[in-house]
Amino acid sequence: MMNQYQLTAQVRHLRYVCFVSSNYSYEGLFLLLLNCQQYWGGRYTPIIPVQDNVIPAGYAALLSHYDPDYVLYSAGVDVELIKQLRCFNPVGYFELDDQGQSREWHGVYAFHLLSEVDPATPVLVAAGISNFENPLLDFYKLNYGLVTSSYVGDNEITRHRPTLEVTAENFAALNQLIHHQKPVLRSQLARRNLHNVILRTLTSHASNLTELVVARDKQSLEDLLYFWNRQLFECRNVLYCTLEELTSLGQDQFFGGVLHDLSSWDLPIEVVSFSLSEEEVNDLLVSVLRPIAFQRQFRYCAIPEFPFAVQDAAGHRMHKSNEQPLTQTLITESGLLRLPTPSFSNKLSFYSQYWTVDLEITQRTAEHRNRLMFPLTTEIGFVVKSFTGRVRLGREISIVVPSQGSESVDATIELPTFPQLLRQLVALPVRHGQLTHSRFPDQGPHDSSNRLAAFISIFNQDFTLVEDFFDDKFWVDTFEKLCISEALAGDAVLFEDLVAACRTVLPQRGVVLGDRDATFQNEENLRLGLKRTVQELCGYGALLPGFKLKCTHCSSIFWYPLKGAAEAVQCNGCLREFAFPVEQPFAYKLNNVIKNNMFQSRSMRDGNLTVIRTLASLHRRARKSFGYSPQVNLFDDLHSNRPSSELDIAAIVDGQFIIGEAKHNSAAFSADNNKSLRGLVDVAKEIYPDQIILACYEDQHGKLARAERALIHLFNRWEYQPTISTLLIHEPSYFNLTGYRYFLH
């Protein structure tokens, strides 16, 4: 069966996070909120205050729950501070102007979501109030989305629906109209069809709560920021007004009706203020709100700390949008991918609309299903041609799709092999949305990596199979004896020798062979099990069947492959022919590829086995995705044959890019003044791996831990520090000695 790839594409809204400095103007923040609110999903954009380039601890904790496509920041915010948080992997970082605008404000205009609303429900639209002045206009803009947007064609989008047009003439009766007709509000459309996290608080807060935030005046950024970010936590509705606006609204009994409609019947409306005292708020409850209440209660609510503490692992729930995933199949690594369009509009018109498509890619072969996951430094244009995008924190691809209509969009996709992807990760890693050039434009294999690749090919690229045999002390001891054997016939073993060796070690697992009728652990069953295992190893090519033959002329003993058997055999010593012996038992020779990965000579270990077992350990750790490369040479000069560095370990585990150094003995890490560790750090500072691993077979006097500390020290004060881990490869054991590879039944 050839490789097949199943691609699932799902539309969602663009996600943003904005950082504003403490000296950002109230007007600029107000306009920023209006900009957010005009787009699909924009009401759930976190706005993070930054005081003297310090992000408050509560907001820093809140950010860990978000994975934005774009990060925006105002003047006065050091963008390097944001990057050092290392909790984002956006398309890029872009500056806001003093009017809350950015050239990277994109999305789907919120009015396009009207198709999800009952067509009989009128839509609140502004008509002829662009030059209208009223103290309450800002209140309606922010809370109801009452803004004029003729540029994007509000009239055209809503022309087939009933509308509630707000004019200078009926503005004074606006609350009465809203209470009676209950129109669709633009601010509500920006909250529909979400694919976003909604945070749950650690302390008890009703999820269906409505809050009214009251600011002393248009100077209190804290009240305005609370109003906006409160919606990130579970609640029904949050409204905002200044003291002046509330006093004016209190003269309109129908404002109480609007609050009634926006709140839950069984919960009071909580009134919050950071700029007014509790006494001042309670006076407002008595003098302004309770007189206009429509069967609703109001109460003051003190907020001792915001953002609220979030439940840990269960701190959020993901709102699933109405968008249905589109699944396609590719039978090759490249092809055309049909990108879905938002379901809620059959015509996205008037100006370019932008949305995101999240991709989930699964490789299907005859043996397995492997989710393709990518390091954060992957260049999206390398995979999906001509599209901007990023790797989400979940290590899967998202692309930004622009469209001016409802027609489907096609993308050319080319799924890289691991060597192709590794070449991009090393030579052209992406950092903070920018493609960078490392000093390693080229890479290639060397002798050790070729030997390692051949070893893994013998075991069908199956690291589970490698672990089965190389965690098993019986087979490791057998292989090692065959590697260092000084017998006349070299590394060859008879089946009877294997049976005898197994009989010797079985008592170490408390196994005493018994009668066939009494236990499955009997001599006959042992022979059958070992025969099947030897046959399995021969099938892989790990053991090569042949014969140990003694020349009748010179008495030399040599091993001859099975295909070399004939009635007359030529001696490898005296070169004379002799007759093939009668009933000669098979002798099994260890494949030289395995031997050469275990030992460089009879007395010197080879580091390749450490690399192999490290890769096997990483493979076992993987839950969805695994890719690897044998050792690789890195070149800093395209015209040189001499590598400047090398990597023993290069792997991707569930999208985590891991590099490392593998030594048979941990003492080798500190050789030549930590030369290998220094080289590893130099490479890491160029290619930005997620993790560095130090692995060894034997830890001499705790030098593996010392190597880890030395590596941490070498990264001291560097802006990007990968996770550093160690792996002491465990000794093989007899744990599986009673399993199916020894006893057939």
Q: Which residues contact 213 (CB under 8 A, 6 or more apart)?
A: 223, 226, 227, 230, 238, 239, 240, 241, 271, 272, 273
In the block, tokens 């953002």 appear at 307
Residue 313: its pLDDT value, please? Answer: 62
Burial of 74 (0-12, 13-18, 19+ CB in 10 A): buried
What are 538's two structure tokens?
A: 């021969």
Q: What are phi and psi of 648, to 5 degrees?
A: -75, -40
* Residue 34 near residue 42, CB atoms below 8 Å: no
Residue 350: its pLDDT value, please? Answer: 57
Q: Which architecture, in CATH terms, is 201-309? A: 3-Layer(aba) Sandwich (3.40)
Distances (CA, A) of 71 to 47, 199, 237, 497, 642: 10, 20, 26, 67, 42
- Tell which residue, 483, 484, 480, 482, has the closest CA to residue 472: 480
Residue 716: its pLDDT value, please? Answer: 87
Same fold for the domain at 14-95 and the one at 201-309? yes
Q: Which architecture, in CATH terms, is 14-95? A: 3-Layer(aba) Sandwich (3.40)
Task: Locate the domains of the chain by residue range.
Answer: 4-10+323-416, 14-95, 118-183, 201-309, 450-598, 605-728
- Tell which residue, 611, 558, 682, has the closest CA to residue 450: 611
Residue 92: its pLDDT value, please? Answer: 95
Q: Which residues contact 204 (CB under 8 A, 6 or more apart)?
A: none
Regions of the chain with pLDDT less than 50: 1
53: left (phi over 0), alpha (psi -120 to 50) or beta: left
Residue 1: its pLDDT value, please? Answer: 46
Distances (CA, A) of 528 to 64, 523, 535, 744: 57, 9, 11, 6
The helix (H) or strand (E) run that includes residue 469 is: helix 463-470
Taking only the tens place, the pLDDT of each residue in 15-56 is: 999 999 989 999 999 999 999 999 999 999 999 999 988 999
Distances (CA, A) of 672 to 329, 555, 676, 685: 52, 50, 8, 21
Residue 609: its pLDDT value, please? Answer: 93
β-bridge pairing 430-431 and 604-605: unpaired
* Residue 263 near residue 237, CB atoms below 8 Å: yes
Residue 427: its pLDDT value, please? Answer: 96
Residue 559: its pLDDT value, please? Answer: 87
- Tell which residue, 701, 698, 745, 693, has the closest CA to residue 722: 693
Q: What is the pTM of this model?
A: 0.90
Q: Which residues contact 35 (CB under 8 A, 6 or more apart)?
A: 42, 100, 101, 105
620: left (phi over 0), alpha (psi -120 to 50) or beta: alpha
Residue 10: its pLDDT value, please? Answer: 94
Residue 315: its pLDDT value, please? Answer: 61
- Rounded to a whole number, what is the distance in angstroms from the first to the last CA of the chain? 32
- Tell which residue, 72, 81, 227, has the closest CA to residue 143: 227
- Tell which residue, 233, 319, 244, has the closest CA to residue 270: 233
Q: What is the 3-state secondary structure (H, E, C) of 561-619?
A: EHHHCCCEEECCCCCCEEECCCCCCCEEEECHHHHHHHEEECCEECCHHHHHHHHHHHH
In the block, tokens 């599986």 appear at 736
Q: What are phi and psi of 723, to 5 degrees?
A: -70, 135
d(CA 354, CA 337): 18
Q: Kindly indicate whether the domain formed by 605-728 is annotated with CATH number 3.40.1350.
A: yes
